[in-house]
Amino acid sequence: MFIMVHHRKIPPPKDVARERILKLSYLARESSDSHLGKRYMRLAEAIAKRLDMPLPIDIKRSYCKKCGHPYGNLTRVRIKRGLCLVTCSNCNDVRRIPYKQ
Ligand SMILES: [Zn+2]
């Protein structure tokens, strides 16, 4: 978004929250410390929950819901009968995500 606004309005809280969530998920992915990564994701979850908004779908799928560990290079992804099986490298929890072409 590169729209010039002359009278800069104070962004509504949801926009701020969204921005924060995006930033946190980015930090979580970039973080080499898995504990820190988890904390970032839990924080993002907390922000979303407080505002009663769902996490963006791409973020939702970028980390393990069970342990909060962000998916990375070690995450195993398998495609099986229209499902995307994602295995968390931290807790070995398997998530099934419907896969559409
Ligand atoms: Zn996990």
Report d(CA 42, CA 25) in Å as an integer. Answer: 10
Q: Which two tokens stand for residue 8?
A: 């800069």
pLDDT in tens, 55-91: 989 899 999 999 999 998 889 999 988 899 999 999 9
Report CA(61)–ligand 1 centroid distance (Å): 12
Q: Is 61 exposed, middle or buried (0-12, 13-18, 19+ CB in 10 A)?
A: middle
Domain map (residue ranges) of the chain: 13-98
pLDDT at 6: 63
Q: Are strands 94-98 and 76-80 parallel, antiparallel or unpaired?
A: unpaired
Task: Please name the residue that has the structure tokens 């998916």.
Answer: 71
pLDDT in tens, 17-70: 999 999 999 999 898 888 899 999 999 999 999 889 999 898 999 999 999 999
Report d(CA 67, CA 19) in Å as an integer. Answer: 23
Say which DSSP state 32 is in.
Answer: S
Report CA(7)–ligand 1 centroid distance (Å): 45
Report CA(14)–ligand 1 centroid distance (Å): 28
pTM of the entire predicted model: 0.76
Q: Are strands 83-87 and 94-98 parallel, antiparallel or unpaired?
A: antiparallel
Report CA(75)–ligand 1 centroid distance (Å): 10
pLDDT at 4: 61
Residue with more model confidence, 55 or 3: 55
